Structure 1
Amino acid sequence: MLNLWLGIAALSLLAAIVIIFPILKLRQSRVTTLVTSDPQQDNVVIFKDRLGELEQELASGSISAPDFEALKAELEKNLLIDASAKKISLSSSSVGSKQLAVGFVLAFAVIASSVALYNEVGRAPDLELSMNMPKDPFNGRQPSMDEAIAQLQLELKANPENPEGWYILASTMMDLGRHQEAVDAYQQCVSYLKPEDVQYATVMGQLAQAMFFAAGTFNAEVRAQVEATLKAEPLEITALGLLGIDAYEKKDFRAAAKFWLTALQNADGSGADSLRNGVERARAELVKLGEDVSDIQLPEMSSIPLNLSIAANRLEGLPKETPVMLVARRPEGGMPLAAVRLTVADLPVSLELNDANSMSPQNKLSSVERVTVSARVSLSGNVVAQPGDLLVEMENIPTKGLPKPLEMVVSEVVQ
């Protein structure tokens, strides 16, 4: 940090010199003018020279004596007038002093405002952490988990306004079963997020889950956190999952199934599988009790099974590492709803497109009824089709209830 302040001091001094130097130079030039230039003395010299010329003209007879006296009187009169009208005033020196004072005040104001601005928006702690921290705090070796956590905590202590860092620390603590420490880290993370941030509701839900595990029960604090989460996002999966767990433990299986079915609207992948399993368990318990379960139906999953291969006449000379892009889009086009990246070496292959292959929660296969499915062998590796690429495309494919897998054979050449 000493180098930082030395640099600031040097730049401040330079700014002061830039402001004050022109004023000093102007003041010096004025003083020099006062010293080297005396108009009264100049007038005296001119008077003597002209008087000498008149005397010579009188001696040579060029002018008469009366004319000489008249011209001499005129010269003396002009000399007296100039002497009274052109007195040198030292007021210009006093004006220079005022300007110099203003210059010093201005230079000080620039320096003070710069320091104040840096204190307001500068990142001195970040710089200190960066300067004091070695490039590799572990000197090239793989750190232990405890060492990595300690290093992260050190960085967060120096730079606490780092929600990503707090989230990583909280997730790590959850994985290690250190639930109270996870709660503390999630709370720090939430404190640096705004309600309008995309991650806000998710982190709030995970905080509720950490609180649940730390308390070992669904207590009032956990419920309050769950309610705050659902106020921010009514379909937040973790919060709804916790409500389902609480209802299931209280043997309110119908309520548990309802919470989990609601969460399914916003879930995909392994999370959706867990929720579906929960709904099935709750439904089975209700069946054991002899209750009607016709109102508890799992939604049909969006799924497109397919078999993908390359035509034999297109395989010759095709490198094994050439990428193959398999995507499903809305019939009108746009962003992929599901995408899988393969290589020529992976083909032929049988697989299934579903919400687990979605590019984002807002663009899922289950959000539409029909799609266009295409597979492209990208010879250039470009995500956009290029001339010479190999392609197969099938339109108007339903996202649910396909009676058998699609048979997709890459054979067409992109022109």
Structure 2
Amino acid sequence: MIDFWLSAGLLLLVALAFLLIPVLRGRKAQAEEDRTALNVTLYQERLRELEAQREAGTLTDEQAQAGRDEAARELLADTEGTQRQVGVGVLGGKIPLFSAILVPLLGCALYLHWGAIEEVEQVRSFVQQPKSIEEMTARLEASLKENPDSAEGWYFLGRTYMAQERASDAARAFERAVALAGRQPELLGQWAQALYFGGNKQWTEQLQGLTDEALRADPEDATSLGLLGIAAYEDGRFAEAIGFWERLVAVLPEQDPSRQAIQGGIDRARSQVNPDAAAAAPQAPTAEAATTEGQLTVQVYLAPALKDKVQPGDSVFVFARAASGPPMPLAVKRLTVADLPAEVSLSDSDAMMPQLKLSGFDQVQLVARISRKGDATAGEWVGNSAPLASSTREAQQLVIDTAEVKGQ
């Protein structure tokens, strides 16, 4: 904000110049006027002296007249080029000075009351890409404190909470979004989903009412169909789960990577409905196998030199981030040092945020970080790979061997 206050200060100086320059000019004119008055007084005294000397007989009439003429010439020389200023009195000098003091104070007071310094700081902060999902969450929370009536802000905050597995907080955010934006199907579905996972997957009349209302308004609401399928499957109502998921698959785009996972769930539900038929029928690819093409396989190792410097319980975060793009991880897996060496797979299903997926970036970088505090954004030791294509099929080896540099 330094540039903002510098600009404001320069504008203030310009405003003060309009007030103070006339005052300074008036003082100069006053000084000239005072000097002229002094010269006139000295001239009059000189005339009185000459007259006294003439009466005393010291000077003749001609000498006295010559003295008076000389004094008059000196007075004219001293006052030549000066102009008498009228109207710059005590009142004319005090008003500009008082205004010069009042303008900055009044300007600051008015800006603090009607200004938008918080909005300026907020816009400047949002220009920079967040370095982690936690930073994004903090920004959204700060934004909503200043603008609590933003339905869009509450919606995105709820989605961010869900990505952090904070379902109860997400439910409150979606409830607020519904109150502001109205009972839109997408919002109702997201609210119901957050309530379901925040309530230990217990189905309630409230959840049924929300999903029913959402599907009445939009029979193809993906969130509600997916949630109803999950709830039916968890409750052992496999035929209902198949029905909901088949409706969901029918409305998803062909290129949507979640189609394969949902199809795998349908196949598992069918095997529960009719185990004999499922055993006899050709096995459809599972969700895990179907998404292999969209995965990166990473083999993570710990450098031998670090074995005595880490503890078995230290967290290990293995993630992929865009080689050129937002710094937030696209897919993350969490291990411990005791699990190393280990092989992990990163795919779109491991995305921290739904809109940031591996498949959306051509080049990615693999990172493995050891953090004793369990912080995915900072740790003690790290291993990085060179940029590689997100469609790479070969297993990549990643060795944790470098001391963490702050801000890496």
TM range (shorter): 0.3 to 0.5
Choose 1 or 2 for highest CA Rg.
1
TM-score normalized with structure 2 length: 0.45
TM-score normalized with structure 1 length: 0.45
* Higher RCO (CA-CA < 8 Å; seq separation 6+): 2
